[in-house]
Structure 1
Amino acid sequence: MIQKSLGIARIVTHVIVFIILTMLTQLGGVIYLISRRTHPLIMQKVTRPVLQPLVKIAAFLLIYLFSMLLIIPLLAKPFGRVPLPIFRKDGLQPLRLSTCLLNRHYVRPDMRHAALDIAMKMNRFHPGTVVNYLDGGFPFFNSFPMLPHLSHNDGKKLDLAFLYIDKASGSPSDNAPSVIGYGVCETPRPGEINTAESCREQGYRWYNMLQQIAPQGNKERYVFDSLRMRALMTVIIYHPAIHKIFIEPHLQTRLQLESDKIRFHGCYAVRHDDHIHIQL
């Protein structure tokens, strides 16, 4: 009876791990199942029981990294997806490497070209500026959900991080305050439109969800760079490939931006005063 219960517990554990990895990375669950094929060999070759779990984890990580770097980009092409650069290219890079490790940096070829073009044009206005991207999409299939996003499911959407000044040095920074890329917000000043408060009063409590999750400890080290942000938004607005932009209304007003491309994303989404959403 005990052995049967343990067997059921193992199966449930594997199912949970598979689901979590699939939700986070799309292919992590499949790679987890593939890595389990190495377990009999590991059990045979690694005689010390205390080391066996560590070797199993190492096997999974090696297979995962190999797949992420070499296999998935090739398989994604027939689905119309290409990866954004993992390392800095033409002024474009991921804000956090975890975006790439989780396979959330795949977009349509037109979006990749647009993102690189936007970064290069920004460097003409403000040399040395790094445009940091956040979540794009998964490598395979339309309509596959990428939480917590509502629409990042077709390779046509990409989030970009805000630009900041390092408060200590007073110099433009190529970093951002959020450790996850989201949730550290440039909140409304007195007299500005407070969409977050309005949405909360209407019962949309998840509108502020990421702000409640993300650590806020780095916020005081950075200052919102209005000058470069206005330049970045102008480049995005005038880029012919970009047809829709989401940013919080109070920042649109503060940066004096006028464009039919800028839309309000609705209270059913999450707030956009921590990043820019662009889409083809």
Structure 2
Amino acid sequence: MNKTLKFFLYLIAFAALTILTQIGGIALIMGIIACRYLKFSYNIFVLTITAYLILTFIAVPHIAPIFGRERVKNTNNIRPTNLITILLNRNYVNPQLNELLQQTANKLPSEFELRYLDANFPFIDKFPLLPHLSHNDGKKIDISLVYQSSDGSLTNLKPSRSGYGVFVEPTSLEFNQTNECKKMGYFQYDFPKYLTLGTINSDIGFSSENTRILIQTLLSFEGIEKMFVEKHLVQRMNLKDSRIRFQGCQAVRHDDHLHVQVK
């Protein structure tokens, strides 16, 4: 392969891996160096994956606290909705938010599981966690809504593989923020519908009662600065708290998850 073309392909791969995982570009460089200097012939892909896994599960958790971040502490009732969140290093928060999640889980009824989605990368404030606009300082995390089985009982299952993109649509009597935003030209507003990675568990439905319990439990802590919830769900669950905000049409709709931010 032409050296110039090879260089640009590596450059593109470095950029893509860095944007997607923050440390993937470093793992690629480690893989390239290892492939060049090891006595035996190894596949660069295998070496890069090996370096990435070592960084993700061994090195990064010990380095992140220097930057004021730590992994979300998984417990019996705090779990990621999707393991990709962990594999892509999108599960880092500051200690205050981590403690608040633990306190929330302890305060929730025992049958609840607090399922989280994207949080932040492990390093560097203002480093973007795409496609999110503000998950860049350790203070934010997305949390899944709560659902119920066809018989009305609480379930910890979710309607999409990623945890995003399956919306709780407004009824004809509720305010439709998506229509309003799209009328103003914000066509990205329902973009998460393309990020489901596949819909699943079609027999479950949104639990207004249990999601309200989750939200009220989170808001019982003064450390919460704001929470984004779509307007029709605020209306449906009769939520009244000044910290519940509208995220703006420049963002995306929040009736498939909650956005939580600490001070």
Please name the residue that 1:15 is paired with.
11
Larger radius of gyration: 1
Structure 1 residue 219: deviation in Å? 6.2
Gaps of 5+ in 2: none
In structure 2, what is the Cα distance between the partners aligned to 1:198 and 1:265? 14
Gaps of 5+ in 1: 47-51
Of 143, 146, 160, 2:143 maps to 160
Contact 2:82/2:117 (<8 A) preserved: yes
Structure 1 residue 16: deviation in Å? 0.8
Deviations 1:72-94 (A, max 9, x none): 11111111101113xx4151111
1:58 aligns with 2:54: no
Contact 1:91/1:116 (<8 A) preserved: no
In structure 2, what is the Cα distance between the partners aligned to 1:179 and 1:185? 13
Please name the residue that 1:214 is paired with.
196
Contact 1:17/1:29 (<8 A) preserved: yes
Structure 1 residue 40: deviation in Å? 2.6
In structure 2, what is the Cα distance between the partners aligned to 1:166 and 1:72? 38
Contact 2:120/2:141 (<8 A) preserved: yes
In structure 1, what is the Cα distance between the partners aligned to 2:198 and 2:28? 33
Provide TM-score, normalisation by structure 1: 0.89
Greater helix share, structure number:
1
Q: Determine what percentage of the aligned residue pairs are the same residue.
A: 34
Q: Tell me the number of residue pairs that the alignment of Structure 1 and Structure 2 aligns.
A: 262
Deviations 1:111-141 (A, max 9, x none): 0000111111113xxx221110111101111
In structure 2, what is the Cα distance between the partners aligned to 1:166 and 1:12? 50
Deviations 1:195-233 (A, max 9, x none): 011000100001111114435632633210112111001
Deviations 1:114-169 (A, max 9, x none): 0111111113xxx22111011110111111111011110100111100111233x6
Deviates more, 1:68-77 or 1:248-257: 68-77
Provide TM-score, normalisation by structure 2: 0.94
Of 183, 186, 204, 2:165 maps to 183
Change in CA separation of 1:69 and 1:136 when aligned onto 2, cut-off 3 Å:
same
